[in-house]
Amino acid sequence: MDTNSTNNPTENISAQEPGTVHKRRVRYSGKYPKKFSEKYKELNPEKYGDEIQHVMAKGNTPAGMHIPIMVKEILEVLAIQPGEQGFDGTLGYGGHTKAMLDQLQGRGHLYSGDVDAIEEAKTEARLRQEGYGKDIWTPRLMNFCEIDQLAQEVGGFDFVLADLGVSSMQIDNPERGFTYKADGPLDLRLNSQSGQTAAQRLLEVSRDELAGMFIENADEPYAEEIARQIYNDLKRGIKIATTRALHEEIVKALQRIKMPKEDRELAIRKSSARVFQALRIDVNHEFEVLYEFMEKLPDALREGGRAAILTFHSGEDRIVKKAFQSLKRAGIYRDIAPQVIRPSREECYNNSRAHSTKLRWAIK
């Protein structure tokens, strides 16, 4: 029962301006919302702080939000000083950007890039409203591998951050097609205004290419079986245009493999996550972009410049590790992280999406 409502209907009418029509606020259909669009309290964190804290206290990320990972460790690595110039290659919800801006204390400048026009516009509006003006912060709609162009324009950077994870806003929104847990179009593009969707990509790859994609991009143990199932069904004219349809292909593939029921259910969940990851990496050319970024990064850093990179799976981490090691041997980096830095146990407990994170750094 809404304790703020009144039992006298005439009071509600008299409280309105003449000529206006009273519209009820959209409410949850039950105790917890089932549709992303119904999660109005989570989608308006500034207005519903108590509900947001309740969701976060359970170790979950509120819908439409993104909790920045390893902020403390990143700030320690980057050692940002007022007056310096930096670049956040992956703006997202703006958590890391905000933390770095605060370190500048109103002096210096931070540039933030993102390929997602939808989320970039939302984040810019929110941070502008919080008081971060154009004198201290400039967001750019760009891929972080274009760091060389930006550095040439503004004169290089004292610190650089690249968070390679997909933002929670993208994962949570079924319309973006990033997860099998909710039905939506099989899209998976970080920039929804450019390039092929995952559904379109599936139509043009061979069975062997598909299996190779699942192995290389996600270390999927059932890559051959899943690729065969998808390829054969597409050849039969079965459409795989939604997240649910792709998930069903994985279910069918693993049902043919002998294993206990409990093991099968776990295998289906894990394989679904890996297949979606592999497709996302392929659709967005993520490895190619990362190789390009790692190659351009040293020239974009000023002497003594610090770089920090957050990765979320072994393929990304290998690329970053090898690039840092190779460039240190070549004398381009003065120092690199001797070993990977992981999030604390407390952070993993408070934010389940932090578990797979790895942080590496380098100093020019």
Q: What is the CATH number of the domain that holds 90?
A: 3.40.50.150
Transcribe 141-183 into DSSP letters: ES-GGGHHHHHHHHT-EEEEEEE-SPPHHHHH-GGG---TTS-
Q: How many C-beta atoms lie closer than 10 Å to residue 58's C-beta?
A: 8
Is the pLDDT reported for residue 47 higher than 80? no
pLDDT at 316: 92
CA distances for 304 relative to 156, 202, 341, angstroms: 11, 45, 21
pLDDT at 169: 62
In 3D space, the residue among 192, 157, 162, 125 whose CA is nearest the CA of residue 303 turns out to be 157
pLDDT at 338: 95
Structure-token pair, residue 296: 């351009």
Is the pLDDT reported for residue 158 higher than 70? yes
Rounded-to-integer distance, Cα 322 and Cα 324, Å: 6
Rounded-to-integer distance, Cα 342 and Cα 69, Å: 10
Is the pLDDT reported for residue 58 higher than 60? no
Same-domain check for residues 214 and 344: no
Same-domain check for residues 75 and 164: yes
Final residue before a domain boundary, out of 283, 304, 329:
283
Instruction: Please compute the mean of the pLDDT values over residues 303-325 and round it to a whole number.
Output: 95
pLDDT at 45: 53
Same-domain check for residues 224 and 306: no
Same-domain check for residues 152 and 297: yes
Instruction: Please compute the mean of the pLDDT values over residues 287-299 and round it to a whole number.
Output: 97
Q: 341 has which bridge partners?
A: 359
Rounded-to-integer distance, Cα 89 and Cα 86, Å: 10
Is the pLDDT reported for residue 280 higher than 50? yes
Domain for residue 27, yes or no?
A: yes
Let me know the angle formed at the C-alpha of 208 by 205 and 214, rounded to the nearest 5 degrees. Answer: 85
Same-domain check for residues 153 and 291: yes
Q: What is the percent of the chain with per-residue pLDDT over 90, rounded to a whole number?
A: 66
pLDDT at 215: 95
Structure-token pair, residue 308: 């920090």
* CB proximity list for 276: less than 8 A, separation 6 or greater: 178, 179, 180, 188, 243, 246
Residue 46 belongs to domain spanning: 9-57
Same-domain check for residues 252 and 332: no
Domain for residue 184, yes or no?
A: no
Domain for residue 177, yes or no?
A: no
Question: In what order do the strands lie in the sheet containing 358-363?
Answer: 137-141, 109-114, 85-88, 157-163, 301-311, 358-363, 335-336
Instruction: Please compute the mean of the pLDDT values over residues 274-302 and round it to a whole number.
Output: 95
Instruction: Please compute the mean of the pLDDT values over residues 45-72 and round it to a whole number.
Output: 59
Cβ atoms 202, 233 nearer than 8 A: no
CATH number of the domain where residue 255 is located: 1.10.150
Question: For residue 115, what is the DSSP state?
Answer: S
Same-domain check for residues 306 and 356: yes
pLDDT at 176: 79
Same-domain check for residues 131 and 266: no
Domain for residue 321, yes or no?
A: yes
Q: Higher model confidence: residue 3 or residue 295?
A: 295
Domain for residue 213, yes or no?
A: yes
Same-domain check for residues 29 and 159: no
Cβ atoms 362, 307 nearer than 8 A: yes
Same-domain check for residues 293 and 278: no
Instruction: Please compute the mean of the pLDDT values over residues 280-295 and round it to a whole number.
Output: 95
Average pLDDT over all residues of the chain: 84
Domain for residue 62, yes or no?
A: no
Domain for residue 3, yes or no?
A: no
Among all chains, which residue has been given the structure tokens 């969707």?
197
pLDDT at 66: 61
Same-domain check for residues 265 and 303: no
pLDDT at 53: 52
pLDDT at 46: 54
pLDDT at 76: 97
Is the pLDDT reported for residue 35 higher than 50? no
Domain for residue 209, yes or no?
A: yes
Instruction: Please compute the mean of the pLDDT values over residues 323-333 and round it to a whole number.
Output: 97
Per-residue pLDDT tens over the stretch 191-238:
888 889 999 999 999 999 999 999 999 999 999 999 999 999 999 999
Of 4-18, 142-156, 344-358, where does mean pLDDT reach its minimum?
4-18
Final residue before a domain boundary, out of 283, 318, 337:
283
pLDDT band at 117 (very low <50, low <70, confident <90, very high): confident
pLDDT at 170: 64
Is the pLDDT reported for residue 55 higher than 60? no
Same-domain check for residues 293 and 153: yes
* CB proximity list for 78: less than 8 A, separation 6 or greater: 86, 100, 103, 159, 161, 306, 308, 361
pLDDT band at 49 (very low <50, low <70, confident <90, very high): low
Rounded-to-integer distance, Cα 50 and Cα 45, Å: 9
How many structural domains is the chain composed of? 3
